[in-house]
Amino acid sequence: MNNLPTNSGHSRGRGRGTKQKDDANRGLGLQLGQSSNEARPDKPVPPADALKTSEIIPKSKDTEAQAIEGDPRGSVRGRRLITEVVHSRPQGLTTKAGISGTKINVQTNYFKLLKRPCWTIFQYRVDFEPEVDNTRYRRGYLYEHKNILGGYIFDGTILFCTTQFNFKELVTKNHAGENITIKIKHVGLVEAADNQQFQVLNLLLRKAMESLSLQLVSRNYYDAKAKIKLNNYRVELWPGYQTSIRQHESDILLCADVVHKVMRTDTLYDILSEAIRDTENFKDAFRRQVMGMICLTDYNNKTYRIDDVDFGLNPLCKFNTKDGDISYVEYYKKRYNITIRDHKQPLVVSRPTEKNIRGGTDQLIMLVPELARATGMTDAMRANFQFMKAMSEFTRLNPDRRIERLRAFNKRLQSSKESMDVLKSWNIELDTALVDIPARVLFPEKIVFGNQKRFVCDNRADWTMEFRNNSMYSHVDIKRWYVITPQRNLRETEEFVKLCIRAASGMKMTISEPRYDKIADDRNGTYSQSIDNAVAQDPQIIMLVLKAPNEEKYSCIKKRTCVDRPVPSQVVTLKTIAPRKEKSAGLMSIATKVVIQMNAKLMGAPWMIELPLRGLMTVGFDVCHSSKNKNKSYGALVATMDMKSSNRYFSSVNEHMKGQELSDQMSMNMTYALKAFREHHGILPERILFFRDGVGDGQLHQVVNTEVKFLKTKLDEIYKSAGKEDGCRMAFIVVTKRINTRYFTKNRNPVPGTVVDDVITLPERYDFFLVSQAVRQGTVSPTNYNVIHDNIGLSADKLQMLSYKMTHMYYNFSGTCRVPAVCQYAHKLAFLIAESINRAPSSGLENQLYFL
């Protein structure tokens, strides 16, 4: 009937989470006892854990795969162990190691497996006679024979172990005393050379970690006993570990990283209580706060995404079981010895995921607010500077503290008898030392300003101060522009505009006095009308002042200026341009950054880098999913028009539905980009360096075997029609930021430009790690670059240097960024469309960085 999806993520709710709760919450039940006309199932449905096993489909591989050595908890479907390794390393590639730069040694967050597993895993199918539907019972019956079976993994149907059984049947008894025959049939082998062994190794490690009294929440294990309480914010931080074992260049390595889980101490019932106290229409208010939120039920340690609230159901409602109808109150008392206090609270609805539906489970999951704890952070929490600062003191670990925690984790694992018994039973031995590997620091880049003045970028990777003494590489004087500001804030706006004019003058750029449109109020319609009036005067750019950050107003402005009345626009808030006196010291710096941004939007170049290649087109592609419509995503492409001789860009963005292939749109947009390049230069680019962001490991197969092939075919067709018989010379690189790899230099963060291209890279990939940015707090995160197609004619060394160079060209920040600038531009564009505009922008802006 129902099923429990194990989704994870942060809450998108807007719970208040700041008021002191009333423990008694008296009177709540009386207010909730009214009937409701909201849509709900025809009849009450049982909690997710009251289902028949035959109706449950596989969960995510991390949360389900824990039944090792006959543990009756958790499971792993046999088919989930089969993972295809995507070989993206080009055939004939002799080396993927670079040579430029200064050689150094770095320490990584990896531990080496000292013994390579030499075992063969036997795979068996297990059936029960008479049939047992409940997987929990099936695992329990098998667990009774753990002394005979030894170490094993069992998901309810498939059994994996290192022992070859001579018997074919086992006999046990059920709770009624009836005999249950367990039939075991050998169906296959998993050899040591198979990729399946690494899935098994990860499962064994997770079982060993379970012996450390760690608690599984979603995908990772956390130490609830070491939780950090932030009582002022009703939040707990649970420290934990993220682990992965896989084959690297020559060794099997364990990657371990320290993570934290934000656990809120308030339940959904607390949020409901506050909605009742603080709002008249508490039902709508509660819905708004919890919709999209991820909650945790402590009784079964599972997470759910909240999709709705049914005020027509309450815990006294009954659902059907094989033993007859039972209410939620009775069920939780009988199953978990939990007493539900308020019998008139509504039930929270979690819809089955697409994966559930594909497995044949399409009924709703009902949760009791009292028993569901809110997880993650709300938007209000993220906007609370004091809260984020308090949290960062524990979550932003400096390299020395991170290394200390990793060593403590290893020592804890090695000193636990239960954990070591699990590892030794499978002949696994883990090294105690972090892996040291060779690395290189690339030569620093030279930032080129106006009059060909150069600044050698230092380890700060920031050249903001250099604008005090240098002009921009190229600029566009602003002679016609409008400033739209509320009438009551005119004085603050005028003062900031004067600062902008002064800052521009220092950079040898001329900004004339603007024309002001002093609006009487700050309603959306007023801004729209003012924009229409301004555009009629043909301005180069419009600056709009908001009283405070407001998503709705920002969306209205950007729709007007990007779609209806295409014109570059610069939105600023009073909090930024007119801060309190004690925070106004950096106002000139803010004005300088605004001027740089406006110049970039008008196709000026604030700075440049030394680029030895002429005729190079650099392309970035990223995808952003709409938070307002989960079924819609937006893919954005941004391409340079040869930075050696111009600073023009081409951008395009397309909407696609969830699960839709991107290859058609990507090749179509590339066709438009090549057309723009040819119109500007008269020829096609000699080389194309394509950076693809927004790709998870599960999507790599599609990108390698579909997108790249489709794109290459289309580009070769274009080039051959232009007389280039060799086709298009292109390198296609997948850029990944969400990785767990870290490396350190003498217990400190590596400097920008530190490259690792051996030992911890993957043998099936043409890949490298690059730290391009500097951080002031915490541990810097490298970016992984995976070259999945390459006929550009450049060595691995030059590809690494080019990738590093491109991280210096993001004009929204006068410093390096974590990914190549075109990737960051593509993300910025896709995010703007997904969050604020939700439609295609005007083609009249496609050659400008209007989305900065």
CB burial of residue 740 (10 Å; 0-12, 13-18, 19+): middle
779 in Cβ contact with 809 (< 8 Å):
no
Can you say whether the dihedral through the CA atoms of 445, 447, 452, 453 is positive or negative?
negative
CA 281 vs CA 69, 286, 293, 778: distances in Å: 53, 9, 20, 43
Residue 701: count of CB within 10 angstroms of its CB: 13
Q: Is 693 a catalytic residue?
A: yes
Among 693, 757, 767, 790, the active-site one is: 693
Residues in a beta bridge with 160: 123, 153
- Rounded distance between C-alpha atoms, residue 157 and residue 558, angstroms: 55
- Rounded distance between C-alpha atoms, residue 538 and residue 297, angstroms: 58
Helical residues (DSSP H) of 516-635, grouped into ranges: 524-535, 551-559, 574-577, 587-601
Can you say whether the dihedral through the CA atoms of 739, 741, 747, 750 is positive or negative?
negative
> Residue 331: which region, alpha, beta or left (left: phi > 0; alpha: psi -120 to 50)?
alpha
Q: Which two tokens stand for residue 51?
A: 């289902």
- Rounded distance between C-alpha atoms, residue 97 and residue 769, angstroms: 11
- Rounded distance between C-alpha atoms, residue 154 and residue 124, angstroms: 9
630 in Cβ contact with 649 (< 8 Å):
no
820 in Cβ contact with 735 (< 8 Å):
yes
Q: For the chain, give me the number of helices (H) and strands (E)? A: 23, 36
Residue 314: count of CB within 10 angstroms of its CB: 22
Are β-strands 687-692 and 730-736 bridged in parallel, bridged antiparallel, or unpaired? parallel
42 in Cβ contact with 318 (< 8 Å):
no
521 in Cβ contact with 489 (< 8 Å):
no
586 in Cβ contact with 578 (< 8 Å):
no
CB burial of residue 743 (10 Å; 0-12, 13-18, 19+): buried
- Rounded distance between C-alpha atoms, residue 700 and residue 764, angstroms: 13
b/e burial code for range 789-807 (CB count within 10 A of at least 16 → b): bbebebbbbbbbbbbbbbb
- Rounded distance between C-alpha atoms, residue 348 and residue 341, angstroms: 16
The DSSP 8-state label assigned to residue 26 in this structure reads T
Residue 666: count of CB within 10 angstroms of its CB: 24
The DSSP 8-state label assigned to residue 385 in this structure reads H
The DSSP 8-state label assigned to residue 667 in this structure reads H
Give, for 582, the enclosing helix (H) or strand (E).
Answer: none
Closest CA to 696 of 736, 663, 656: 736
Among 622, 642, 790, 797, the active-site one is: 622
636 in Cβ contact with 622 (< 8 Å):
yes
766 in Cβ contact with 790 (< 8 Å):
yes
Q: ∠ CA(507), CA(509), CA(511), 5° rounding?
A: 130
Q: Report, in angstroms and rounded to the nearest whole number, the Rg of the chain calculated over CA atoms.
A: 30
Q: Which amino acids are annotated catalytic?
A: 622, 693
